Amino acid sequence: MDRIGVAFAGGGMSPPEVVKCVQLAEELGYESAWVAEGHGGDQFSILTACALATERIRLGTSISSVYVRSAPTIAMAAACVDYYSGGRFVLGLGSSHKVQVEPEHGLEFSGPIPRVRDTVAIVRRLLRDGSLVDYHGEAVSIRSFDLHFPVWRPQLPVYLAAVFPRMLEIAGEISEGILLTWCTPEHARAAAHHVAVGASRAGVRPDDVELATLLSVAAPGAGDGGMRRVAAAYAGRFPRYRRLMAEAGFSDAVELVRRAWRQGDIAGAERLVPDDLIARMSLPSDPGARQERLAEYRDAGISLPIIAPRVSGADAFASAQEIIRTNAPA
């Protein structure tokens, strides 16, 4: 059976509905379930509920921001979910985005790469040492902190969100896995190269660093409307994903999307998203074409494709369940 995961980002579902989706994914043989945290609920709380309601499926954050929680808070939360899951937890970390961290959380966004490095180092030391930890880093320093409780695993896996070469190479150096998104097979191949460079630099076998990518899937019967909304939001709001889309061959189109979005013309921005962008950066609905595309990603170095249902509104729960069933591992 091919390994495949599933990821949730709220999309209008309640936390108990996400748990039911994860239970269904486990029944159908999905390898892992991932929960984002933007506006969809507290990911560690939801994953704890998932841990108590499942037995086998791996559970991860995709991703937890290194800005909106302190490193010790992340370590405590990760250790708790790992405990409740019996060692099935994967800590996915990333820098998030300036356009979220500063206006939405009122925090300063600066030095994302040093902050990611320091957070990974602090979390690992807190889980491993079991005693007071002092750490003085470039972006984060802590004094005299310990967890005050036993951990299930002193070395739980850490995956990092990465997009461009510098972070991909750093992730290859210091993490057990990479989380990509809005990724074409061509970008996956380039990412695999940079991860291998970083891993080799650190004396790590590149094959020991897993490459995973979230793959957007539209709600059944929604046509490409749901995908257009999501793609327009990413192109309109997030510079790094706009650059990724531009480098995939859609530079002129995403610039037009950005301008419309900034002018408040959301509907216009959605209309300007090219059909080819949606076709290349999401999974097709046809089962045969979908399997061919997944094979493309695996050939490019992706060892864990992660289905990301793009659902919203009153039918979000039913749509997510149908996507999970339709895309279940073969």
Q: Hey, how many other C-beta atoms are within 10 angstroms of the C-beta on 298?
A: 17
Residue 224's pLDDT is: 63
Cβ-defined contacts of 129-132 (< 8 Å, 24+) = 130/154
Question: pLDDT tens digits, residue range 262-281?
Answer: 999 999 999 999 999 999 99
Quick check: 93 and 124 in contact, CB under 8 A?
no
pLDDT digits (tens), the chain, 330 positions? 789 999 999 788 999 999 999 999 999 999 999 999 888 899 999 999 999 999 999 999 999 999 999 999 999 999 999 999 999 999 999 999 988 998 999 999 999 999 999 999 999 999 998 789 999 999 999 999 999 999 999 999 999 999 999 999 999 999 999 999 999 999 999 999 999 999 999 999 999 999 999 999 988 766 666 789 999 999 999 999 999 999 999 999 999 999 999 999 999 999 999 999 999 999 988 888 999 999 999 999 999 999 999 998 889 999 999 999 999 997
221: CB partners within 8 A, 6+ apart: none
Degrees, nearest 5: CA angle 317-305-273: 70
Q: Are 56 and 67 in contact (CB under 8 A)?
A: no
Two structure tokens written together for 29: 């043989």
The residues that bridge with 159 in the sheet, in sequence order, are: 92, 177
CATH class of 5-222+285-326: alpha beta
Six-digit token pair at 329? Answer: 């591992």
For CATH 3.20.20.30, the residue range(s) in the chain are 5-222+285-326
Q: How many CB atoms lie within 10 A of CB 93?
A: 27
Which neighbouring-strand residues pair with 217? 309
- Segment holding 25, helix H or strand E: helix 15-27
pTM of the model: 0.96
Confidence (pLDDT) at 254: 96
Q: For position 222, what pLDDT does the model report?
A: 67
Write out pLDDT tens, residues 275-326: 999 999 999 888 889 999 999 999 999 999 999 999 988 899 999 999 999 9
What pLDDT does residue 119 have? 98
- Quick one: three-class SS letters along 269-326? HHHHCCHHHHHHHECCCCHHHHHHHHHHHHHCCCCEEEEEEECCCCCHHHHHHHHHHH
Dist CA 273 CA 112 (whole Å): 29
